[in-house]
Amino acid sequence: MAQMLADRRDVDFILHGQLKVEQLSAHKAFGDFNKKTIDLIVSEARALSLKELLPAHGIGDRVGVRYQDNNVFVPPEFHGIYEKLSNGQWIAPSDDARWGGQELPLVVTQAAYNYLFAANYPACAYATLTHGAGKLVEVFGTDKQKNLYLKKMYSGQWSGTMLLTEPEAGSDVGALTTMAEKNEDGTYSLTGNKIFITAGEHDMTENIIHPVLARIKGAPEGARGISLFLVPKYHVNADGSLGERNDIFCIGVEKKMGIHGSATCSMTLGTSGQCIGTLLGEENKGMAAMFVMMNEARLGVGMQGFGCASASYLNALNYARLRIQGRSIVADPKETNGVSIIQHPDVRQMLMTMKVYTEGMRSLLYYTAFLEDLAKISDAPEEKERLHDMIDILIPIAKGYVTDRSFDVCNLGIQVFGGYGYTCEFPQEQLLRDCRITQIYEGTNGIQAMDLLGRKLSMKNGKLFKELMSEIKREIGAAASIVSLQALSAELATAIDMLDEVTGFLFKNAVADASKGAAYAHATLYMEALGDVIMAWMLLWRARAASQALDAGAIKQDILFYEGQIQGVRFFIKRFLPVITGKLFAIKNLDSAPVMMNDKSFGV
């Protein structure tokens, strides 16, 4: 059975029917990217994914990485993938051309990554981490650092990663113990240990550039005393050539549930007292630098999880159409022939659930990237601020909610296959395993929920949430003008009113000492409820665009697709909106049982 990655018809529908991204080409920054060019770029990413990345997906899982004497060897097939991603300029497609980027609209990059990640995101991680490290250099580096590192990173000649987590300082980054001491020449000597470092060591590039979080000797305790340093695997001479080996080594790799082809390394710095790095940005401003890059990183993780869901859904849909088993429950009693399992109501409801979440999540991820593009071309400071505010409040949903629901979709993807889904004969079980880590790294989803409740809702006196609600209500008003969507729009409007009320209630209790613990115990439930409302918004927007296309006289081969959009929002609002209401009622109860429990009451 052929494996699937993403529905090209749906990708095009979001880009051109929902978001109308070709409008970006009217602006100088994106003048080269008309509809034809955008479609060619997406087609190129799709072809690369099917031809090169997908065949190595299972191989990377079975072969994994090999550790020997401080060295890490990745599956041989990954070398060719990394080379093609580098040669195709897929490492920094939306970045400054001065440093090797293509300056694509970020929404087009998202569409391309939809295919690349769905095909083999463990292999892509080496490239995307290189981009993240390079972006830190681009934003915070000195001219010397940019000239030494940036082009070679964005071109893929050198790779990059991020050394953040430590054995005793996981999510609590402020508790890190890695130290830096300034040398007379202005460099720093670093000592410490880091764990869970993706791509910290491998054999695909001649040099690896490590941004490292550490505390300068004598700096304040906690997060306010953390600085960021550039520590190359091999020292770089003034002319850009490689010098001696730096005192930073991999001392082991993790054996993991999934992403076996992605090296998760334990790193040690300065065991011989010779780990030398240079300051990146200002002293004690390392965490601030990381937060600047956090939106992009978390949006990327959302796309990684979603890539697994996208592939799992299409695989399940294809299998359900081909797998013959059982009689139809509505067939004539005399009919004995079996039918494809897509004819069975329970399978159909599973596929429908996968469909609406997959399409809603794809729209959300593309839309969030599109907001970045709109902010880039806007000349109005107030509009720029509004767009960035929208991005800030959507990021916890794009990372936390999307990866949670992506895992759910992958779980259903196994169920549709039945027993075969649990075997390694089909890709469904690997997609589930690979998806699981996206709920953990770049800030666990519980942290995303707490960030949403504790930070995003309070920013600018609640302005971010109010703007989000205004945007959703605008869409409800537009959809209500279409007869077939009027009742559904009204139901979503009622849910919005309740969400608004509960948000105020929950936030008020989150800042009150007496009920703060109970409020934060409901943060994940709140993120789920808000995410569900945003899914309904995206699906209603899609249904409106589809209805307008039908009214305009859609071509024959598109009619069923557009009708499917209208059925999709109907299914979601009728099936899941009552559940959203239940979640909001549960939040209003603000039950404090979890925080009142004695530690020993949980069990032995």
Known catalytic residues are: 442
Residue 461 identity (one-letter amino acid)? N
Q: Is 150 in contact with 138 (CB distance < 8 Å)?
A: yes
Q: In a 3-state reduction of DSSP, which class is residue 272?
A: coil
At a CB cut-off of 8 Å and minimum separation 6, what does 385 contact?
none
| CA-angle at 236, arms to 230 and 242, nearest 5° | 135
> Which is nearest to 463 in space by CA: 403, 385, 398?
385
Distance, in Å, from the CA atom of 181 to the CA atom of 285, rounded to the nearest integer, reads: 16
At a CB cut-off of 8 Å and minimum separation 6, what does 443 contact?
171, 294, 298, 399, 451
At a CB cut-off of 8 Å and minimum separation 6, what does 406 contact?
305, 306, 308, 309, 357, 361, 435, 438
> Which is nearest to 18 in space by CA: 8, 26, 6, 10?
10
Distance, in Å, from the CA atom of 20 to the CA atom of 38, rounded to the nearest integer, reads: 11
Q: In a 3-state reduction of DSSP, which class is residue 2?
A: coil
Distance, in Å, from the CA atom of 38 to the CA atom of 36, rounded to the nearest integer, reads: 6
The burial class, CB within 10 Å (0-12 / 13-18 / 19+), for 596 is exposed
Q: Is 287 in contact with 226 (CB distance < 8 Å)?
A: yes
Centre a 10 Å sphere on the Cβ of residue 138 and count the other Cβ atoms it contains: 21
Distance, in Å, from the CA atom of 211 to the CA atom of 162, rounded to the nearest integer, reads: 5
Token representation of residue 447: 């942290």
User: Percentage helix, strand, coil, to 5, in the chain?
Assistant: 65, 10, 25
Question: H or E stretch including 229?
Answer: strand 226-232
Distance, in Å, from the CA atom of 503 to the CA atom of 509, rounded to the nearest integer, reads: 10
Strand partners, 266: 252
Distance, in Å, from the CA atom of 282 to the CA atom of 278, rounded to the nearest integer, reads: 11
Centre a 10 Å sphere on the Cβ of residue 591 and count the other Cβ atoms it contains: 13
| CA-angle at 121, arms to 242 and 366, nearest 5° | 110
Q: How many Cα atoms sit within 13 Å of 72 on the Cβ side?
A: 29
Centre a 10 Å sphere on the Cβ of residue 480 and count the other Cβ atoms it contains: 18
Distance, in Å, from the CA atom of 72 to the CA atom of 579, rounded to the nearest integer, reads: 47
Distance, in Å, from the CA atom of 545 to the CA atom of 478, rounded to the nearest integer, reads: 10
H helices of 250-285, in order, are none
Distance, in Å, from the CA atom of 405 to the CA atom of 438, rounded to the nearest integer, reads: 11
